């Protein structure tokens, strides 16, 4: 072997290595070079290798229609996980309303010494509704439960019956529906919170039980619009009840104006989002509903402060809790606002795209 042979071997190895690297990094250029007429016709093997490498390393064609099709299916046919999550959020709203009714009716009916034996019914129904709602929150199955459904139906009927009882309690008094009787007789709108808990609970069961690739419906309407109507109407009624009692208190605290100004705006924006969905109106409705939810928790703090200002404060809690501002009432705003947020998310799914 001459001294030039090792040098030629090194040059051959470098050439082969460079060719291999070029075929991996720039396969299309190598393929074009292989098809050049400057190369001899015997380089068919080189051309075939280059073309094969180009086919293997070329990026796959983009399919722009696949994401759109998947988005369309997800919008029109929500998955069981999505409807199950919405149902659990509605169960949370029903739980807050049921707790508010249970605690408030217990205090108010205790003050009335349970004069009428029917005054025990909302306590039993409220406790059952609260238990069914907690069970619904913990239940991860995307299907309705017949026992929960039955309890929610009983709660709705009990709330409507309680509305009749409270109206009769007011009208049977001297002067009938006077300001004095509306202030100090049975609170006219309180039983509707139990009815709303039942309606939202039934809505939760309907949404959870939506078959796959079907849009959730409540009372034959799209679930988002139906639940938005229930939430907005509930907010309106709760505002009326709070306004009546705060008017009785002469709005002595400036913050007493908040429950009669913030929730009505949230109810109006939610109704507008249901009728004319859009990015701006949905964004405004969402933030006002969140503010209303926070208002419910803040209201408990203000009512605690109101009890402390009574004679004896919390040392005389057994009397001041009964006669002072109702501690369990403000969370009704939170429960209805959470239901409105769930309805808004369903509306966006129905109208997106």
Q: Where are the domains of the chain?
A: 81-211, 215-353
9 burial via Cβ count (<10 Å: 0-12, 13-18, 19+): exposed
Extended beta strands in the chain, E state: 217-218, 221-222
- Residue 31 scores a pLDDT above 90: no
Most confident of 37-41, 58-62, 129-133, 186-190: 129-133
What is d(CA 320, CA 68) in angstroms, rounded to the nearest whole number? 61
pLDDT of residue 295: 95
The confidence score (pLDDT) of residue 143 equals: 79
Give the tens place of pLDDT for each residue, 305-329. Answer: 999 998 988 999 888 898 889 999 9
Which one has a higher pLDDT value, 82 or 11? 82
Q: What is the pTM of this model?
A: 0.75
Tokens 């402060």 locate to: 305
φ, ψ of residue 222 in degrees (nearest 5): -55, 135
Q: List the structure tokens of 3.
A: 């001294």
Band of the pLDDT at 216, cuts 50, 70, 90? confident
**3-state DSSP assignment of residue 221:** strand
> How many degrees, rounded to 5, is the angle at CA 161 between CA 164 and CA 266?
85
Please give the share of the chain, as a percent, with pLDDT higher than 70. Answer: 76
Q: Which range (22-31, 216-225, 227-236) has the least confidence?
A: 22-31
**pLDDT at residue number 210:** 83
What pLDDT, on a 0 to 100 scale, did the predictor assign at position 10?
57
DSSP states of 273-310 = HHHS--HHHHHHHHHHHHHHHHHHHHHHHHHHHHHHTS
Residue 237 above 90 pLDDT? Answer: yes
Tokens of 269: 């924006």
Q: At what angle do helices 331-351 and 223-248 cross, to 10 degrees?
A: 160
112-171 pLDDT, tens digit per residue, is 889 889 999 999 999 999 999 999 999 888 778 899 999 999 999 999 999 999 999 999
Q: Is the pLDDT of residue 353 over 50?
A: no
Dist. CA 272–CA 282, nearest whole Å: 9
**Pairwise pLDDT comparison (44 vs 156), residue with the higher score:** 156
Burial 52-89 (b: 16+ CB within 10 A, else e): ebbeeeeeeeeeeeeeeeeeeeeeeebebebbbbbbbb
What confidence tens digit (pLDDT) does each residue in 61-80 have? 555 555 665 555 555 555 56
pLDDT at position 350 is 73
172 φψ region: left (φ > 0), alpha (ψ -120 to 50), beta (else): alpha
Does residue 56 surpass a pLDDT of 70? no
What are the backbone angles phi and psi of residue 218, rounded to the nearest 5°? -135, 120
Q: How far apart are CA 335 and CA 343, in angstroms?
A: 12
If pLDDT is split at 50, 70 and 90, which confidence band does 351 have?
low
Top-confidence residue, 220 or 30: 220
- Percent of the chain past pLDDT 90, that is, above it, reads 53
């Amino acid at each position: 072997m001459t001294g030039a042979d090792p040098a030629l071997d090194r040059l051959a190895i470098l050439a082969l290595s460079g060719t291999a690297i070029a075929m991996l990094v720039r396969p299309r250029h190598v393929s074009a070079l292989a098809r050049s007429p400057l190369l001899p016709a015997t380089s068919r093997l080189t051309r075939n290798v280059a073309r094969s490498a180009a086919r293997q390393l070329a990026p796959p064609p983009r399919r722009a229609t696949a994401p759109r099709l998947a988005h369309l299916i997800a919008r029109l046919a929500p998955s069981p996980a999505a409807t199950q999550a919405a149902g659990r959020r509605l169960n949370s709203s029903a739980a807050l309303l049921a707790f508010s009714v249970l605690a408030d009716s217990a205090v108010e009916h205790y003050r009335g010494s349970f004069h009428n034996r029917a005054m025990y019914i909302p306590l039993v129904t409220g406790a059952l509704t609260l238990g069914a709602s907690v069970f619904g929150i913990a239940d991860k199955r995307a299907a309705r439960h017949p026992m929960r459904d039955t309890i929610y139906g009983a709660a709705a009927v009990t709330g409507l019956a309680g509305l009749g009882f409270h109206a009769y309690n007011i009208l049977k008094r001297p002067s009938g529906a006077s300001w004095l009787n509306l202030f100090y007789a049975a609170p006219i709108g309180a039983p509707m919170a139990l009815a709303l808990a039942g309606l939202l609970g039934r809505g939760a069961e309907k949404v959870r039980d939506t078959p796959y690739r079907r849009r959730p419906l409540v009372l034959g309407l799209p679930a988002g619009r139906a639940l938005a109507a229930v939430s907005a109407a509930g907010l309106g009624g709760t505002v009326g009840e709070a306004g009546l009692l705060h008017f009785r208190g002469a709005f002595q605290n400036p913050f007493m104006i908040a429950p009669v100004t913030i929730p009505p705006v949230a109810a109006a924006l939610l109704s507008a989002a249901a009728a004319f969905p859009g990015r701006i109106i949905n964004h405004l409705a969402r933030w006002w509903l969140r503010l209303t939810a926070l208002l419910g928790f803040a209201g408990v703090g203000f009512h605690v402060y109101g009890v402390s200002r009574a004679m004896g404060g919390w040392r005389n809690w057994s009397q001041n809790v009964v006669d002072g501002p109702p501690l369990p009432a403000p969370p009704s705003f939170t429960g209805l606002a959470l239901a409105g947020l769930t309805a808004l998310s369903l509306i966006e799914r129905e109208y997106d795209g």
